[in-house]
Structure 1
Amino acid sequence: MEADKDSEIWYAMRATYRREPDAMRLLEKENFGCFVPMQYKISIKKGKKIRVLVPVVHNLLFVHARPSELKRVKSQVAYLQYITDTRSGQKIIIPDNEMQRFIAVAGSYSDHLLYFQPDELNLSKGTKVRITGGDFEGQEGIFLKVKGARDRRVVIAIQGVIAVAMTTIHPNLIEVIK
């Protein structure tokens, strides 16, 4: 699914050897949209506990750019690579609406979000839902039980790349999408 050459599309990419901050700076300098899912972790520096914002999955970033411009920049930067679908070998391109939903949730940097590799969840067992209130009002996802959580959660997935499970949401704030 290669989009027409002059429109911007979202690509799932890797920045090898944990160079996602370098890649983000470079891509933002080129005026590309970038997103790296981040999360706060507690680390100890000089004997003190501090909260540090770190990438959820090292080497993963999402880039919003025109294919021709991204190809030009990528040819100059060896550590920037496309993520491809293992079955088809095609570059993974994420639809705008799916990416906007993912950014709305993952961009909150909440400690209560759980992240999963695509093969860790069986999304077909869940129910498609829309959140009707709270911080994530209007978001759509799959409502299912995830490991590491007592109750069911709403999951937003980027097919073949990553999935994020939201914090516990009261059942009154969820409506099933038929």
Structure 2
Amino acid sequence: MEDTTNLSPKADASLYNGQPSDTGLSCPSAGLTSRTPSISEDSRNGVSVENVPAGNKQWFVLRVSYGRIDKAKTFVEAKGLECYVPLQYKEVRKQGKKRIITTPLLPSLIFVHASAEQVEALLHDNKVVANESRALLSYYFNHTIHRQDNPDRNPPLTIQDEAMNNFIRLTSVKNPHIIPVTSDNIQFKLGDNIVVTEGEFKGVHGRVARIAGQQRVVVELFDGCLVATAYVPREAMRKNITQVVIATKLNMIR
């Protein structure tokens, strides 16, 4: 098995995970694959190396009006900005054969890597709402904090590069058993911060949970946005020591 533990591939954000709407591929196994794609293979498949922090650019979470994710992606790319639309891979049968089709995993959200000024200009461009009654894009606000210059308002939600890299690593795997979940239907175990060490989800950091009768790893990008891997066996994961140390220190402070 090729060791890519220290590598952090990410999807080329302008390529929809590098896949068309119908891949025509056979359904991958829900279990572990024999090896993890190398960086060079990822690049050929529309997945590039980890995004490098660039100046004042951040990952902004933007809302997309209903049913217009394709238009939003095209619009953002036309402005020369990097964006990411995670896909969900689904099994279908065509002419007696299993095939994989893709649909947006989070159809009301798009992730844009840009400066605050670029995003502001993007949202105020007249072409966004020209001849239409509703805005194509809008801010997704961070309701856990308030703006320093206006305590009555929330700032736009942004995602740290490390968390975004982890999310992209997970959602770039072409596996139909990756699913969005809610905090209401999962229960985490004590001390369950782990990193996957083998298989197609190798390198993904998250928390162990039992979902749909299977042991999976859940990645929480922000409050209310959780995505679960396919089944991951216990022997293919180890405790994330860094997270355990941080949690221990927080408990001591309390």
**TM-score, scaled to structure 2:** 0.59
> Which consecutive residues of structure 1, in runs of 5 or more, have no partner in the other structure?
1-5
What's 1:115 paired with? 180
Instruction: Check 1:162–1:69 CA distance in 2 against 1; reply closer, same or farther (3 A cut).
Output: same
Contact kept, 8 Å, 1:16 with 1:79, in 2: the verdict is yes
> SS in structure 2 opposite 1:157?
strand
Contact kept, 8 Å, 1:126 with 1:144, in 2: the verdict is no
What's 2:58 paired with? 9
Cα RMSD for the two superposed structures: 2.6
> SS in structure 1 opposite 2:176?
coil
Instruction: Check 1:61–1:109 CA distance in 2 against 1; reply closer, same or farther (3 A cut).
Output: farther
What's 2:198 paired with? 133
Instruction: Check 1:92–1:37 CA distance in 2 against 1; reply closer, same or farther (3 A cut).
Output: same
Equivalent-residue separation in structure 1 for 2:56 and 2:183 (angstroms): 28
Instruction: Check 1:161–1:28 CA distance in 2 against 1; reply closer, same or farther (3 A cut).
Output: farther
Identity of aligned residues (%): 26
Instruction: Check 1:54–1:120 CA distance in 2 against 1; reply closer, same or farther (3 A cut).
Output: same
Equivalent-residue separation in structure 2 for 1:81 and 1:118 (angstroms): 25
2:132 is the counterpart of 1:68: no
What's 2:104 paired with? 55
Equivalent-residue separation in structure 1 for 2:91 and 2:216 (angstroms): 24
**TM-score, scaled to structure 1:** 0.82
> Which consecutive residues of structure 2, in runs of 5 or more, have no partner in the other structure?
1-54, 129-134, 146-153, 242-254
Deviation of 1:169 (Å)? 1.2
1:65-119: CA deviation from partner (whole Å, max 9, x where unpaired): 1111111111012320111133432211100110111011112242011212455
Contact kept, 8 Å, 2:189 with 2:208, in 1: the verdict is no
> SS in structure 2 opposite 1:136?
coil
> SS in structure 2 opposite 1:7?
coil
What's 1:164 paired with? 227
Equivalent-residue separation in structure 2 for 1:145 and 1:122 (angstroms): 7
Instruction: Check 1:87–1:124 CA distance in 2 against 1; reply closer, same or farther (3 A cut).
Output: farther
Higher alpha-carbon Rg: 2
Contact kept, 8 Å, 1:85 with 1:160, in 2: the verdict is no
> SS in structure 2 opposite 1:97?
helix
**1:19-58 correspondence runs (5 A):** 19-41=68-90, 51-58=100-107
Equivalent-residue separation in structure 1 for 2:100 and 2:199 (angstroms): 25
Contact kept, 8 Å, 1:37 with 1:57, in 2: the verdict is yes
Equivalent pairs, count: 169
TM superposition outliers: structure 1 runs of 4+ over 6 Å: none
Counting strand residues as a fraction of each chain, which structure ranks higher? 1
Letter of the 1:127 counterpart: D
